Amino acid sequence: QVQLVESGGGLVQDGGSLRLTCSVSGTIFSINNQGWFRQAPGKERELVARITSYDSVNYADSVKGRITISRDAAKNTVYLQMNSLKPEDTAVYSCNLNQRTNWGPWYSYWGQGTQVTVSS
């Protein structure tokens, strides 16, 4: 059973910083990618950043240069460092893990989400 638990959300002022943490428990396959998504009220969920098992990363255009995804494989933990936060970054941020064995199907797992609120 794979479980993802996010932490680190909260209230921050415009221009402030937060670091989100996603702790993963259970079996992690060698082929995987882990990402952070966010969903603001009335909007669709969107990808913020993703990192693969080969450490390839990609970011949403709206966060490039302000947000960094990283991970500690030994701790099964993924981080999202968010700097220069803006009110439009306000959303529920959720951690996601997609993984598969060499020839198997992809499995997707989600955390419960953590609220990030940026005040102007």
Taking only the tens place, the pLDDT of each residue in 87-112 is: 999 999 999 999 998 888 999 999 99
Interatomic CA distance for residues 14 and 87, integer angstroms? 6
Six-digit token pair at 75?
């701790």
Query: Residue 41: CB partners within 8 Å, gap ≥ 6?
Result: none
Six-digit token pair at 8?
């680190």
pLDDT mean across residues, the chain: 95
CA dist 50 to 35, 36, 44, Å?
A: 4, 6, 17
Interatomic CA distance for residues 68 and 84, integer angstroms? 12
| Residue 28 reports pLDDT greater than 90 | no
Q: What does the pLDDT read at residue 1?
A: 87
